[in-house]
């Protein structure tokens, strides 16, 4: 792997961004990668369709934990559609596509080298799939609240 990219990954592993938990997250999900034994919990505070706060906790290999840290930095302050499009771009890169908007990907590009090691790709995408599930639960929660509201009326 490229030395510069290795440095970026190690920096996020040693100094994780937004590691911890939120006092009152609007959604959270715990993801697990049995192939490597990595786990990542993602918590989000979503207001008006914007991810205002994000936090993660977890344990596992350096790829899984640094990817989670990079993800928190990449999604904080973004809208849900922006995050979904970034998710699409990131997973396409990890699947081997070169048709990527690298300006938008930013630091996440550091993980591109991981795709040469297919077993580790799941480590790199764990946080993102966990995020996706947390966002899906948010939708369900909103639907649930709406139907509760209808029931009350």
CB 38, min distance to Zn ion, A? 4
* Phi, psi (rounded to 5 degrees) for 30: -110, 125
Nearer to Zn ion, 35 or 146 (CB): 35
Smallest separation (angstroms) from Zn ion to the CB of 93: 18
Residue 65 in the binding site for Zn ion (CB under 5 A): no
Q: Cα separation of 139 and 17, whole Å?
A: 26
Q: Is 64 in the site for Zn ion (CB under 5 A)?
A: yes
> Shortest distance, CB of residue 79 to Zn ion, whole angstroms?
29
36 vs 100 by CB, closer to Zn ion: 36
Could you say whether residue 130 binds Zn ion (CB under 5 A)? no
- List own/partner pairs for 103-109 with CB under 8 A and 24 or more apart: 106/74, 107/8, 107/70, 107/73, 107/74, 108/70, 108/71, 108/74, 109/5
Smallest separation, CB 57 to Zn ion (Å): 16
> What does DSSP say about strands 38-47 and 27-33: parallel, antiparallel, or unpaired?
antiparallel
With CB under 5 A as the contact rule, the residue among 123, 127, 134, 135 that binds Zn ion is 123
Residue 39 in contact with Zn ion, rule: CB under 5 A: no
**The one segment of 74-82, 105-113, 120-128, 135-143 that binds Zn ion by CB under 5 A:** 120-128
22 sits near Zn ion (criterion: CB under 5 A): no
Which tokens in the block code for residue 14? 């040693």
* Nearest residue (CB) to Zn ion, 53 versus 112: 112
Q: Which residues bind Zn ion (CB under 5 A)?
A: 36, 38, 61, 64, 123
């Amino acid at each position: 792997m490229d030395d510069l990219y290795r440095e970026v990954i190690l920096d996020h592993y040693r100094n994780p961004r937004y590691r911890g938990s939120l006092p009152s997250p609007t959604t959270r999900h715990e993801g697990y990668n049995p192939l490597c034994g990595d786990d990542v919990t993602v918590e989000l505070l979503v207001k008006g369709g914007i991810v205002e706060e994000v936090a993660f906790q977890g344990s596992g290999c350096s790829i899984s934990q640094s990817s989670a840290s990079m993800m928190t930095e990449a999604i904080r302050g973004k809208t849900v559609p922006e995050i979904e499009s970034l998710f699409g771009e990131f997973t396409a890169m990890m699947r081997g596509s070169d048709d990527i908007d690298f300006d938008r990907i930013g630091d996440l590009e550091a993980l591109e080298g991981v795709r040469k090691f297919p077993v580790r790709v799941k480590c790199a995408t764990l946080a993102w799939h966990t995020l996706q599930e947390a966002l899906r639960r948010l939708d369900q929660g909103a639907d649930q609240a709406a139907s509760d509201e209808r029931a009350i009326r």
